Every structure is written in structure tokens, then in C-alpha cells.
């Protein structure tokens, strides 16, 4: 008995020694760059995929279900594998269809393959696509700089036809979906590396310097050593719209987009009179507030748009800021004559989105409210979404820039930093070292 015990103990020690000798690197977070495309105002990230690795530019779709890539043109990879019907990867992808294809086999065209609906929300179009797996590699981070490249050998994505790239930024081969599904980038990265199901998005307002998306654990450090973390963010609950907002969906499927609860809007600290029932999400999935990287500017339902712009014009006039002719798509433009420049952008009336309580406020300062037209004209960067808009408030790209916004899927909350300009840094100040 004693002998056998010793042998067992010895082999346990032996195994322990081996695993110590070959530590596998497990990152606590990953980082990808995000560039604003000057002509489409889309946000474009870059990841590496396939064998051999190919660098792919992808439009960031915050509310997208998964990664999709054009497989019809130049998709060559020795590690491409279609996801077969009735496999665990197939159910993970939320597929309800099993497909065959007659002009293959090739990437995007195989028999007995699981099918989904890749979507391009810019043109509000979805097509059928084959679910597949391939190698994806990105840089890891300790939160303060980019580091060792790590690989997910069997990353699940969808193929799409070339036609789905219509109206996307030039040089782009697909879209990176960050939505609330099990195969969107945040969830797949979290399960591949066992880090938290959360990510932070920090979009740069400049088309010449990159912002970042960091998947995984906080903190997030920006030069010169400005640390943003769970402790410094303000949180609001992540809300679920019970009705899908996608171009295609199955009955009863909730939206995979990120909704938050705006309760009121204040301009210059004065409450704007609104039909507040438009601010909540109805059982039919109408109304409410979501965050989007697809809309370059915040879109407001017509009655909200009118009330907000009128209040803003009135408060601006009180500061001798004069209105000038509108410049499409904006309806409220101003002479720069009486607008001072400050660290937080043009000095204009502040806009507060009041969330779950009076003390939880997303403040939009001039840097995020005003759009530069020329040296003489600035416009309020909100657009009219019409009176039949499905979602009442869509917080768009310009209003997100140089704010760090964290989406925590595990705890169902959204954290926001307020403008980083107030902390004397920007989203372009992440230290990419390689
Ligand atoms: C799929 O199966 C059909 C019928 O058996 C065949 O004609 C077709 O070539 C197959 N396609 C692929 C991509 O293997
Ligand atoms: C407020 O909005 C709701 C939802 O769209 C609508 O049914 C209602 O008629 C509106 N109320 C007023 C006073 O406009
Ligand atoms: C606005 O302009 C008027 C007339 O020039 C001046 O009397 C007033 O003090 C100005 N108000 C502000 C807030 O600058």
C-alpha cells in the first residue's frame, strides 16, 4: 500500500513539474485598433484570420451577432472548416437552418452546413451564410500596452457573399459583430481565454489616429498614465429589448443590441419636455435608447429631436451664440463667433442624458455635441430619425468618441467614463507597442 501511494504521489509531482515547465500564456485581455474611415465615418478594426494569416479590415458593428467575412473573393486558408449541421458549434451559432451548396466545395459553399444570416445594417440587408471556423489571432494586453499575439484556433464566424460589402468602407472584407450572442467577438474571446465577458470601446474622433476595443478585464491605461477602470466608470443597467432589431430574426428572439435607460434629457441643466413614453421600450420592442457604431451621429425620434434642438437653440441664444443656415444632415447650426474653445470642446450648452437616477448622468459636452463644418460654422451633431423610428434614441459614433464605454455582459451593465478630454487624454492614446 505504502509503495503504491508513493508512486501515485510521484507521478502527480511529475505531471505538475511538466506543466510548470511549459506554461501556456493566458492573457487577461485582448486589444484591437479601431480606425475611423474618413469617407463613410464607419469604425474599422483589424484582426488576423486564416492560415497563413491574413490581416482583415472589418467594420465594427456593436449590435452585430457575429463576425462575418466575404468568402467569395480571395478566401484561401488551410484551416477553414465548415460547421456541420447538428454540432455543438452549430447550436452555439444560433442557427436554425441546415444548408447545401451546389457550386463548391469552397469556403462559404459546402454541403450539410449550418446556416445563419449575416447582416449589413448600413444597407439594412441580410443574406444566407455558411457558419465556419478558422484561426483568428489578435494582440493581448495587460491594459497599458499591446503585447504577445494570441490565437483562437477555431473561431466561429459566418461567410457572406461579396454583395453584402455594399456601402462599407473601402478595403473592408466584413463586419465584426460585438452583440449579445454567444459567438460575437466578446463572448468567443472570453470563453477562449477564460476572462470576463466584457469589453471596452474607445473610439477616436480623429481619422488619423486609432482608438481601441479591449476585450476582457480592466484596467485600461491611456498615455500619459491615465487609468480608467471598473472603479472609475459610472454604470447603468444594460436593458434588453424583447423584440429583435435585426433585419432577420425568429419569432420571440430578443434584440442582441445594447439598450440603456435614458429617463430624461437636460440642456444646460434644464429638463427638456418630452413624451417620456417614447423613452421606454414597449412590449412590441419600440422606443428606448440604444448605442450604435453604425450611426455616425445620434438619431432622435422627431418629437424628441424637435424638443432637444429647440431647447439647445434657446440656451445658445442666451449665450449670444447665433444660429446660421443649416448644413445637412443637421438642423441646428451656429456661428462660431461667440463660441469659445475649451478643453472639453466648443463652449456650448451641455446636454445630459439622465439615466436610472438623477445622479447618474451621461453628459455630452461640446466635443461630442458639436460637429465642425468650417471655421465659421459648427452644427449640433444630432439628426432627425423620423416619427416612425423603431428606437427613439440611437446614440451614435460622434457622441461616443473619446469616451470609454464598457459593455459588461456578465453583470448586464454599461459603464461610461465621460469625455476623456476631461482627464487630459483621448482614445487615440492607447500604447500600441509592436
Ligand atoms: C452537395 O451535394 C449535391 C448532391 O449530392 C452535389 O451535387 C453537390 O456537388 C454537393 N456540393 C458540394 C459543395 O459538395
Ligand atoms: C407619446 O408616445 C406614445 C408612444 O409612441 C404615443 O402612443 C402617445 O400618443 C404619445 N403621446 C403624446 C401626448 O403625444
Ligand atoms: C449678449 O450680447 C448683448 C448685446 O451685445 C450683451 O449686452 C450681453 O451682455 C451679451 N450676453 C452674453 C451672455 O454674453
In a 3-state reduction of DSSP, which class is residue 160? strand
103: Cβ below 6 Å to ligand 1?
Answer: no
Residues 414, 419: Cα–Cα separation, whole Å: 15
Phi and psi based region of residue 41 (left: phi greater than 0; alpha: psi -120 to 50; beta: remaining) = left
227: Cβ below 6 Å to ligand 1?
Answer: no
**133's grid cell:** 471556423
Question: From the centroid of its chain, how far is CA 358?
Answer: 26
Which of 217, 248, 279 is at the close of a domain?
217
pLDDT digits (tens, 9 = 90+) for 146-168: 999 999 999 999 999 999 999 99
Q: How far is CA 47 from CA 44, 75, 114, 171, 307, in A?
A: 10, 15, 24, 13, 42
DSSP for 7-69 reads HHHHHHHHHHHHHHHSPPP--SEEEEEEEE-TTT--EEEEEEETTTTEEEEEEEETT-SSEEE
Domain shared by 343 and 292, yes or no: yes
Domain shared by 388 and 257, yes or no: yes
Domain shared by 97 and 147, yes or no: yes
277: Cβ below 6 Å to ligand 2?
Answer: yes
Residue 247: pLDDT band with limits 50, 70, 90:
confident
| pLDDT of amino acid 249 | 85
Please indicate, yes or no, if residue 394 is contained in any of the structural domains: yes
Residue 7: pLDDT band with limits 50, 70, 90:
very low
Average pLDDT rounded to a whole number, residues 226-236? 97
Domain shared by 172 and 234, yes or no: no
- Tell me, what CATH number does 135's domain have? 2.40.70.10
Please indicate, yes or no, if residue 346 is contained in any of the structural domains: yes
Please indicate, yes or no, if residue 67 is contained in any of the structural domains: yes
| Residues forming a β-bridge with 414 | 236, 407
Please indicate, yes or no, if residue 122 is contained in any of the structural domains: yes
Q: From atom 6 of ligand 3, which residue's Cα is the shortest distance away?
A: 320
Domain shared by 344 and 366, yes or no: yes
Which of 217, 238, 264 is at the close of a domain?
217
Domain shared by 106 and 242, yes or no: no
Ligand 3 nearest-atom number relative to CA 320: 1
| Res. 3: pLDDT tops 50 | no
Contact 330, 381 (CB under 8 A): yes
Q: How far is CA 39 from CA 211, 242, 247, 287, 291, in A?
A: 17, 35, 25, 30, 21
> Residue holding cell 462599407?
168
Which ligand neighbours the alpha carbon of 100 most closely?
A: 1
Domain shared by 57 and 111, yes or no: yes
| Residues forming a β-bridge with 68 | 158, 175
Which of 166, 184, 217 is at the close of a domain?
217
| Residues forming a β-bridge with 408 | 198, 413
319: Cβ below 6 Å to ligand 3?
Answer: yes
Domain shared by 168 and 56, yes or no: yes
Domain shared by 363 and 253, yes or no: yes
Domain shared by 205 and 63, yes or no: yes
Please indicate, yes or no, if residue 296 is contained in any of the structural domains: yes
**89's grid cell:** 458549434
Determine the structural domain holding residue 355 and report its residue range. Answer: 228-429
Domain shared by 247 and 206, yes or no: no
> Residue holding cell 466584413?
174
Please indicate, yes or no, if residue 235 is contained in any of the structural domains: yes
276: Cβ below 6 Å to ligand 2?
Answer: no
> Could you tell me the end-to-end alpha-carbon distance of the chain, in angstroms, rounded to an integer?
56
In a 3-state reduction of DSSP, which class is residue 306? helix
Nearest to 114 by CA among 81, 79, 72, 162: 81
Does residue 329 have a cis bond before it (omega within 30 degrees)?
Answer: yes
| Res. 1: pLDDT tops 50 | no
Please indicate, yes or no, if residue 200 is contained in any of the structural domains: yes
Domain shared by 254 and 327, yes or no: yes
pLDDT digits (tens, 9 = 90+) for 87-130: 999 999 999 899 999 988 999 999 999 999 999 999 999 999 99
| Residues forming a β-bridge with 395 | 291
Please indicate, yes or no, if residue 208 is contained in any of the structural domains: yes
Number of folded domains that form the chain: 2
Please give the model's pTM, rounded to 2 decimal places: 0.93
In a 3-state reduction of DSSP, which class is residue 308? helix
Amino acid at each position: 500500500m505504502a509503495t503504491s501511494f508513493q508512486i501515485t504521489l510521484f507521478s502527480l509531482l511529475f505531471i505538475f513539474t511538466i506543466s510548470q515547465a511549459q506554461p501556456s500564456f493566458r492573457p487577461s485581455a485582448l486589444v484591437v485598433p479601431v480606425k475611423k474611415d474618413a469617407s463613410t465615418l464607419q469604425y474599422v478594426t483589424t484582426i488576423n484570420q486564416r492560415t497563413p494569416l491574413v490581416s482583415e479590415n472589418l467594420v465594427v458593428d456593436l449590435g452585430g451577432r457575429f463576425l462575418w467575412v466575404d468568402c467569395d473573393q480571395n478566401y484561401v486558408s488551410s484551416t477553414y472548416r465548415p460547421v456541420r449541421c447538428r454540432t455543438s458549434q452549430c447550436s452555439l451559432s444560433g442557427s436554425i437552418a441546415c444548408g447545401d451548396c451546389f457550386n463548391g466545395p469552397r469556403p462559404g459553399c459546402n454541403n450539410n452546413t449550418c446556416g445563419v444570416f449575416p447582416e449589413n445594417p448600413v444597407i439594412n440587408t441580410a443574406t444566407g451564410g455558411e457558419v465556419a471556423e478558422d484561426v483568428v489571432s489578435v494582440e493581448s494586453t495587460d491594459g497599458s500596452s499591446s503585447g504577445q499575439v494570441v490565437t483562437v484556433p477555431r473561431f466561429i464566424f459566418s461567410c457572406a457573399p461579396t454583395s453584402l460589402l455594399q456601402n462599407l468602407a473601402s478595403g473592408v472584407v466584413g463586419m465584426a459583430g460585438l452583440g449579445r450572442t454567444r459567438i460575437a467577438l466578446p463572448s468567443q474571446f472570453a470563453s477562449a481565454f477564460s476572462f470576463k465577458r466584457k469589453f471596452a470601446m474607445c473610439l477616436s474622433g480623429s481619422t488619423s489616429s486609432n482608438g481601441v476595443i479591449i476585450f476582457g478585464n480592466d484596467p485600461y491605461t491611456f498615455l500619459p498614465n491615465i487609468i480608467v477602470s471598473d472603479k472609475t466608470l459610472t454604470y447603468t443597467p444594460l436593458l434588453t429589448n424583447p423584440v429583435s432589431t435585426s433585419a432577420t430574426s425568429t419569432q420571440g428572439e430578443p434584440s442582441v443590441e445594447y439598450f440603456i435607460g435614458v429617463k430624461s434629457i437636460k440642456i444646460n441643466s434644464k429638463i427638456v419636455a418630452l413624451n417620456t413614453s417614447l423613452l421606454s421600450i414597449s412590449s412590441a420592442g419600440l422606443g428606448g435608447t440604444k448605442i450604435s457604431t453604425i450611426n455616425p451621429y445620434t438619431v432622435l425620434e422627431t418629437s424628441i429631436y424637435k424638443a432637444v434642438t429647440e431647447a439647445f437653440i434657446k440656451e445658445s441664444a442666451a449665450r449670444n451664440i447665433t444660429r446660421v443656415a443649416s448644413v445637412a444632415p443637421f438642423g441646428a447650426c451656429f456661428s462660431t463667433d461667440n463660441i469659445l474653445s475649451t478643453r472639453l470642446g466648443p463652449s456650448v450648452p451641455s446636454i445630459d442624458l439622465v439615466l436610472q437616477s438623477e445622479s447618474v448622468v451621461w453628459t455630452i459636452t461640446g466635443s461630442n455635441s458639436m460637429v465642425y463644418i468650417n471655421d465659421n460654422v459648427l452644427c449640433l451633431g444630432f439628426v432627425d430619425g423620423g416619427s416612425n423610428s423603431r428606437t427613439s434614441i440611437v446614440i451614435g459614433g460622434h457622441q461616443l468618441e473619446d469616451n470609454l464605454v464598457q459593455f459588461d455582459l456578465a453583470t448586464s451593465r454599461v459603464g461610461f467614463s465621460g469625455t476623456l478630454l476631461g482627464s487630459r487624454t483621448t482614445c487615440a492614446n492607447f500604447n500600441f507597442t509592436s
